[in-house]
Structure 1
Amino acid sequence: MSTNDTSVEKKKNDLSNLPTELTERGREIWLAGLGALSRVEEEGDKVFKSLVERGRDYEGKRRKQLDDAAHSLKERQDALTSDVSKRIDDATKTVEDVVNRTVNSTLGRIGVPTRHEVKGLSDKVGDLSRKLDALGSMLATQVQDAEGEVVYHVSPHEEGWAVIREGAERATKLFGTKKEAVSAGRDIAKRHIPSQLVVHKQDRSVQESFSYAEEDDE
């Protein structure tokens, strides 16, 4: 066999093995690609988790910084508000004091009583009025005692009907109905003869009266 024939035969053999080699080479490339993809997925998952952790740390640090800044700002705002409010209150009180002193001084110069003087006078008048009322009640009682006759009244009351002795500040007794009050009033008047029982209507006008003396049988 000549050299040319040998060379041709070798080329034929190489060509016949080429599909197998290409197939194996392609499979290796395919497997290498799968391996690279798997590596990327593994590394990518690790990188993703690492980024998440770093993000959490960063968020926590930034949140604390923001919270601290907000707290500090609120404290400064509260302090400023308190200081301004105190200054306004002090200024208002000072102005009120100046105005009151000026008004009182002016009123004093022209002979007009001040608010405190008017209040004091009003209290004295009220006290005097109460004393006069008490004196009037006492005198009325003394007059009745001198005359020897006690007068009782059956009058409407906020809690029903009352039997009250004339000149007294408080009711002798309270009742739910007018009928009960009249009956009790007559019994009380009979126990204090000579006496009189005056029965009033709902509008406090006189409806009727009863007089009791020692010679009465009722």
Structure 2
Amino acid sequence: MSEHDDQTPETDPQLPGKIKDSARQIWLAGLGAFTKAEEDAGKFFDRLVQEGEQLESKTRGVVGKQIRTVEDRVGEVRERATGTWDKLEHMFDQRVSGALRRLGIHRKEDIQALESRIEYLEAELAKLRGSSSNDNDEEE
């Protein structure tokens, strides 16, 4: 047998060096794997950020369209409601005015017109009285 075959691991003088070299290689492989993972994680993180930004842009567009659609619908409903409310208010005013007339209660405009007519007639009467008292003064 040869000299190499006669040596057992316990008696091999190169064993500590081999173990040291093997441990160093394992250590370097671990460092390499860690560095690679760190680089890949950074790239992966950057890619996730990009995809998130793209998704946010798309989402904003869709949400913006939905908001505009809802605002348009609300505007239409508001216009219809306002128009309907105005019609109801006008009908209510007409019915109340009709009911008040049937009860003999006149509208404010009617009363104001009568007051103006009374003022005019009082002024005409005062003129007539003034001219008749002037006529009386001349006769005396």
Q: Do both proteins adopt the same fold according to a TM-score greater than 0.5, normalized to the shorter chain?
A: yes
Q: Does 1:26 align with 2:26?
A: no
Q: Distance in 2 between matches of 1:113 and 1:43?
A: 90
Q: Does 1:89 align with 2:92?
A: no
Q: TM-score, normalised by structure 2?
A: 0.72
Q: Distance in 2 between matches of 1:94 and 1:20?
A: 107
Which amino acid is the alignment partner of residue 123 of structure 1?
S
Highest relative contact order (Cα 8 Å, sep 6+), 1 or 2?
1
**Which of 107, 112, 118 is 1:119 aligned to?**
112
Note closer, same or farther for the CA distance 1:130–1:24 as it changes in structure 2 (3 Å cut). Answer: farther
Determine which structure has more spread, i.e. the larger CA radius of gyration: 1
Higher strand proportion: 1
Q: Give the drift of 1:67.
A: 2.3
Q: TM-score, normalised by structure 1?
A: 0.49
Aligned position for 1:43:
40
Q: What count of residue pairs does the alignment treat as equivalent?
A: 129
Q: Once superposed, which parts of structure 1, at least 4 consecutive aligned residues long, lie more than 6 Å away?
A: none
Which amino acid is the alignment partner of residue 33 of structure 1?
G
Q: Distance in 2 between matches of 1:58 and 1:101?
A: 64
Q: Give the drift of 1:35.
A: 0.5
**Which of 72, 76, 87 is 2:69 aligned to?**
72
Aligned position for 2:7:
11
Q: Give the drift of 1:63.
A: 2.3
**What does residue range 183-194 of structure 1 map to in structure 2 within 5 Å?**
none
Q: Give the drift of 1:11.
A: 1.0
Aligned position for 1:59:
56
Note closer, same or farther for the CA distance 1:98–1:8 as it changes in structure 2 (3 Å cut). Answer: closer
